[in-house]
Amino acid sequence: MKLITRFLSESREQWCFLGINILALIMAAIFEVSAPIYLGNIVDAIVNGLKNSENMEAILHVANNTILILIGLYSGHAICTYASEYIISGIAEKMVLKLRKQVSQQFYVVPISYFHSHNRGDLLSRLTSDLDNVAETLREGIPGLISSIIGIVGAVVMMIWISPLLASIIIGVIVLGITTLSVMAKRTRTVYLRNQEALGAFNGGVEELVTGKAVVQAFGLEQVTTNQLDELNSELFVRMRQSGFVGQLVMPLVNFINQISYVLVAIQGGLMVVRGTITLGDIQAFFLYVTQISDPISRSSYILTKLQETLAALGRIYEVIDVVPEADTGTVELQVPSRPSNCESSAGASVGETASSLTSDADALSQSNDAPSAFPITGAALPKTGAALPKTGVIEFNHVAFGYSPDKLLMKDLSLSIPAGSLVAIVGPTGAGKTTLVNLIMRFYEINSGSITIDGVNIQDLTRESLHKTVGMVLQDTWIFTGTIADNIAYGKPNATREEIVNVASLAMADHFIRTLPNGYDTVLKNGASDLSQGQRQLITIARAFLANPSILILDEATANVDTRTEVEVQKAMEQLLQGRTSIVIAHRLSTIKDADFLLVVDNGDIVEQGTHEALMQRGGYYSELYKDYALGMSV
């Protein structure tokens, strides 16, 4: 009930149209229930005329007038029904549009942790099938229910008006029928629910088979998987047969009730006609009212069952709408330094020229950071990393504590400083907390205590927009949306010119392959660009990062999916991309680790070692062991 009240109160702007719709339904019902009386009048006119030996012309004259009235009534019924359907479909679409907008907007503002704790398919089904369910019930169910109720009430009133005695017999049968149907509806609900569960399980099985086809084939498990799917299919067959059986029971039952009513009306009505207490026309009208009632009864019982399903869907939709959005209480905007963007600085220069000039800059940078203890992990004074470095992009963790659940901390007291413009590689075993560390910089999760600052400003005081403009990410899972390659590259800078786009694509070594496509930069990518190779997709996302030009860049094994030859090219481009910004690379690759100015070795959410590759190797601690294992793995 709460859900219905909420839904109605949130659809206040549609109330007026809803009122008009109900009015149209009432009018349609009035026209419909009036007709049998006039049909009865025709019968009476003919019977009485013949009985009184009136001439045929006089009889037909009376009948013709009534027929005109009937044409008017049926036309009125058709017009009002059409108007009601037209209005209700508008109302339904607007209500669903509003819900869809609310849910879609929520997807942008709910914390990322919400997505991590919910099944992706389940979230999608709320936006699709649950909303469809609500729309269908609004479009067809509710008008059907209202017109059924009005129709039943109208027909009962007319029956009482014609003959209270006959009406009471019919009402008795109706009450009996409704009680039986509602008992059946309860049982049907359970059967339908099991059917939907079986359908969901089968769909899940098919999805797993489709997405994991390569793995299934690689392990030669086609037969096992097919058998599992067969089992799910058999279960679905049984459930569907059951639901079909109970669903088909409703109509025969309603027909049975109908026929009982006809028999009772025929017996009692016949006796009343003989006694002269009712006319033959009234009996005929009575029969028509019985027919008019039976259909709405079966329809409303079905709609009431469907309504339960819709309320469950509405509840799931409101659950998403009610998620508390990520707090964006920050007011500070980080000043973006007047640093030339990648595309401007390189305009006109060949990739080779740019790369070589940058390599020497990078060398200077790495030399200045060579001292093993140059980067304090305690949050003390930042090291001087050379006059050429930019002043923006300093990241500090001050006594940070964080856990995905409050009772289990992953980081207990983490402090570290990353100087502006440095290239830091985070290494550590799987599950050590590398991704978590960068997620905290992006403020995807709120820390339990301590603070994280960028250029001395607590990230909680920054607006989310400013934070995400300052920190860019290139992830291993490439995200390509449906649109042209140019649109995909310009994602972080929608107003970028074609020249800028081509420029950054050249820097990311993507220009060549893009030009080989039939439509070049205007090639439309669909289905996550499944027709491009993983490496090509990655190059596009790297070009995207070039164009967005953030002062801090996070790379999550960004070159992991690029082949060895492409990797060399991408590395060159990367040097350019990383130039002049603080870069944090989560990498397992030897090349990335060696290029880094500094390594942070993470284990159990803590930094256990830090320093350059050489220094850490000399130290012979945790990193050197890790590295030796890695090198051994590479040589095997």
Ligand X SMILES: Nc1ncnc2c1ncn2[C@@H]1O[C@H](COP(=O)(O)OP(=O)(O)OP(=O)(O)O)[C@@H](O)[C@H]1O
SS3 493: coil
533 vs 50: CA distance, rounded Å: 89
Nearer to ligand X, 465 or 625 (CB): 625
| Shortest CB 437 distance to ligand X, Å | 7
- Can you tell me the distance from the alpha carbon of 11 to that of 403, in angstroms, rounded to the nearest whole number? 40
Closest approach of Cβ 107 to ligand X, in Å?
Answer: 17
Nearest distance, CB of residue 432 and ligand X, angstroms: 4
Sign of CA dihedral 380, 385, 387, 389: negative
| Residue number with CB closer to ligand X (300 or 435) | 435
CB closer to ligand X out of 134 and 425: 425
Integer CA distances (angstroms), 3 to 11, 256, 312, 317, 541, in order? 12, 36, 9, 11, 43
Shorter beta-carbon distance to ligand X: residue 274 or 324? 324
**With respect to ligand X, which residue has the nearer C-beta, 117 or 338?**
117
Binding site for ligand X (CB under 6 A): 116, 404, 410, 428, 430-436
Smaller CB distance to ligand X: residue 74 or 404? 404
Whichever of 122 and 230 has its CB closer to ligand X, that residue is 122
Min dist CB 353 to ligand X, Å, is: 37
Provide, rounded to whole angstroms, the least separation between the CB of residue 587 and ligand X. 10
462 vs 85, 401, 443, 471, CA distance in Å?
51, 20, 10, 12
Q: Which two tokens stand for residue 248?
A: 């088909």
Q: Cβ closer to ligand X: 237 or 479? A: 479
As given in the structure block, the two tokens for residue 234 are 């058999």
Query: Would you say 623 and 599 are in contact if contact means Cβ atoms under 8 Å apart?
Result: yes
Instruction: Give the shortest CB-383-to-ligand X separation in angstroms.
Output: 26
Task: Compute the distance between CA of residue 514 and CA of residue 488 in angstroms, rounded to an integer.
Answer: 12
Residue 138 · residue 95 · CB < 8 Å: yes
What distances in angstroms separate CA 282 from CA 37, 77, 273, 286, one per listed residue?
7, 22, 9, 6
Task: Tell me how long the chain is.
Answer: 636
Q: In this structure, are residues 441 and 308 in contact, taking their beta carbons and an 8 Å threshold?
A: no
How many other C-beta atoms are found inside a 10 Å radius of the C-beta of residue 445? 16
Q: Which helix (H) or strand (E) holds 150?
A: helix 142-162
Q: Which two tokens stand for residue 67?
A: 């027929």
Shortest Cβ 407–ligand X spacing (Å): 12
- Comparing CB distances to ligand X, the nearer of 225 and 538 is 538
Minimum Å gap between C-beta 416 and ligand X is 15
Q: State in angstroms the smallest separation of the CB of 427 from ligand X.
A: 9
Name which of 507, 491, 472 is nearest 581 in CA terms: 472
Q: Counting Cβ atoms within 10 Å, is residue 511 exposed (0-12), middle (13-18) or buried (19+)?
A: buried
Three-state secondary structure readout of 221-275: CHHHHHHHHHHHHHHHHHHHHHHHHHHHHHHHHHHHHHHHHHHHHHHHHHHHHHH
Nearest to 66 by CA among 88, 48, 40, 95: 40
CA neighbor of 39 nearest in space, from 270, 277, 281:
281
Min separation Cβ 326 and ligand X, Å: 15
Nearer to ligand X, 433 or 550 (CB): 433
Q: In the complex with ligand X, which residue's Cβ is closer, 436 or 579?
A: 436
Strand partners, 425: 585, 599
Nearer to ligand X, 116 or 515 (CB): 116
Contact 286, 163 (CB under 8 A): yes
The least CB distance from residue 444 to ligand X, in Å, is: 9
In the complex, minimum distance from the CB of residue 434 to ligand X, in angstroms, rounded to a whole number = 4
- For residue 458, give the H/E element and its range: strand 457-458
Distance CA 166, CA 437 (A): 80
